[in-house]
Each structure stands twice: as C-alpha cells, then as structure tokens.
Amino acid sequence: MTNEINKNIVKEYLADLQEKIVDALQLVDGENFLIDSWQRKEGGGGTTSILENGNIFERAGIGYSSVTGSKLPKTATDVHPEVQNRKWEAMGVSLVFHPYNPFVPTVHMNVRFFIASKNGEADIWWFGGGIDLTPYYPFEEDVIHFHQSLKNVLDPFDKKLYPKFKKNCDNYFLLKHRNEARGIGGIFFDDFTDNNFEYCFELIKAIGSSLTKIYLPIVQKRKDTKFTNKERDFQLYRRSRYVEFNLLQDRGTLFGIQSKGRVESILMSMPPMVKWSYDWKAKTGSEEEKLYTNFLPPKDWV
C-alpha cells in the first residue's frame, strides 16, 4: 500500500457514490430526485439531490460537495490549530433519509476527506464519517442487524475499529442539553489517518458502499406497517431532537455555515415536518416509553 495522497480519486468515488445511492433510492421509492448543482463563490461546489413527498420518504437528501478556501472558520481551527494559515479543500457525501412511516427509522451517513496545504510543508489530511440510525418505534432485530452489519464492514480492516467507532458515535450523537441520545447510534469517526492514505480510502469506500445494503432491507420490511395519528405525532415530536442536535451541536452543520457554504444544501438534513410539545412524558409501559428505556441508552448490540 502507498501513502501517496490522491484527492482526485476520492472526488471521483464520492461523486459516483452519490449517483449510485440516488439510483437505489429511486427504485425503492418510485419517485425521482431533483438534482441541483451549485457553485460556491469562495471556491468549489457540489450537487444536492433531494426527494420530497415521495411514496416512502417525506424527504431524502444526498449531497456531494468539494469546496476550497484560503482560511478555515474558527470551528475548525479551534479543534485543529495546525491547519491555520493553510489553503484547504473539503469533500464528502452526506445524506439523511426521513421516511413518512414512523416504523421506518431515519438514517444519516457522511463520508468525507479534508486536506490542508502550505507551500514548503507537508499536506495535513484526514478522513471522517459514519452511519447512524434514528428509529421512532424500534425493532430489536433491526437494531442488531444494523450494528452487526457495520461491524462486518469494519472487522476486515481492524477488529478494534467497530467498538471504537461505536463509542465515538454514542458520545457524539448525545444531546448534551438533554443528556439524551438522538437514536441508537452506529459508527462515527474523524481525523482518521491510520496506516496510510490507501488504507483509509478503502475503509471510507467500504462504509459508503454499505449504506444501501444495510438500510434498505429495514425499509422494505417496515414500510407497509400500519400506523395511526398517535405514532405519527410521536415521530414528529422525536424529530425535534434531530433539529436540536443539527443546529446546536453538529460540527458539520456549523462548519458549513461558518465557511459560507450553500445554506439550502447544509440544511437539507432537516425533517420537513416537526413538532415540540411542552414537558411531554411517555405513558408507563407504552411503546414510546420503550424507546427511552430499552433503546436510547447506549448498549452493546452485537
């Protein structure tokens, strides 16, 4: 394996990944995505693929971007002071699928590459990403399938990665102001430079290419489950946690806004409908309570 950095092959893979996921989602949903390409004044651009009011998905957004700049925002330099005063390029695919049916979980995935350059000095680079699941009415078999599948993706690289990335995910997707998990977790990592560039790139490809294989079987199994206004109301209530996390804590959202990214593309992850209820409490013994007691607290699923 080589440590030669080739950002162009990363760009090609990410653009192709977006297209493949769009094709797969269109086959499942039956409706087509709107494809919206855009350019950024400061440098670079991307393509936002968005499906709204589909047959299965109320909103499904898949964004590809490759953006450049001469100065990083404070959110980045606070974490990585070594990249100050460097030209930078960030590229990635990010997606969130919000289904209509409360028995189908929301899924989020992001795979990304960052490189910062300065004349006369070695490039600073890393990969990051992850996949996590946010169910409203979870099924234990689905949660186990989700986590086991992620473990199966990572184990060929290093059997230490899944437990490490799972713990990262549990810690990252925790709403600090509520001390409450957003969902049932998954994997999350950043600043990944293990071994060499090729090794890291192969890992990213394995994760990105696994999304449809892991998530769509759950969709197919649950998409026709009957639900009432009660389940729909709870889904909208739980979606409020998604909004709170994205606006208050998510580093990707903050980086996008502060680096003057395209706002519509950054916020495509938001659910189209959401509600807040004052001091809501689940009824004892209810399915809603089981989400809080049996699924949201981090645990080992495999």
Write the pLDDT tens digit of every residue in 231-245: 999 999 999 999 998
What percent of the chain clears pLDDT 90, i.e. is strictly above it? 75
Residues, the chain: 302
Q: What is the predicted pLDDT for the residue at 63?
A: 94
Told to judge if 145 belongs to the known catalytic residues of this protein, a careful annotator would answer no
Catalytic residue from among 98, 108, 145, 147: 108
Q: What is the pLDDT of residues 121-170, one digit of tens each?
A: 888 899 999 999 999 999 999 999 999 999 999 999 999 999 999 999 99
Task: Work out the number of other CB atoms within 10 angstroms of the CB of residue 23.
Answer: 11
Angle between helices 140-154 and 161-172 (to 10 degrees): 130
If one looks up domain 7-137+193-279 in CATH, what number appears?
3.40.1500.10
**Phi/psi of residue 185, each to 5°?**
80, -155
Cα(279)–Cα(47) distance, integer angstroms: 40
Distance between CA atoms of residues 244 and 256, nearest Å: 16
Q: Which pLDDT value is given to residue 2?
A: 53
Give residue 128's pLDDT: 96
Q: Answer left, alpha or beta for residue 224, where phi above 0 means left and psi between -120 and 50 means alpha.
A: alpha
Residue 261 has pLDDT above 70, yes or no: no
**pLDDT score, position 74:** 66
Of the given ranges (148-157, 167-176, 192-201, 274-283), which has the lowest mean pLDDT? 274-283
The interaxial angle of helices 7-29 and 197-222, nearest 10 deg, is 10
| Best CA proximity match to 153, nearest among 136, 131, 175 | 131
The CA dihedral of 78, 82, 84, 87, to the nearest 10 degrees, is: -130
- Whether residue 288 is predicted with pLDDT greater than 60 in this model: the reply is yes
Q: How high is the pLDDT of residue 266?
A: 78
| 40 — pLDDT class (breaks 50, 70, 90) | confident
pLDDT reported for residue 118 = 86
- For the ranges 42-56, 64-78, 79-93, the maximum mean pLDDT occurs at 42-56
Q: b/e string for 257-283 if b means 16 or more Cβ within 10 A? A: eebebbeebbebbbbeebeeeeeeeee
The pLDDT value given to residue 75: 65
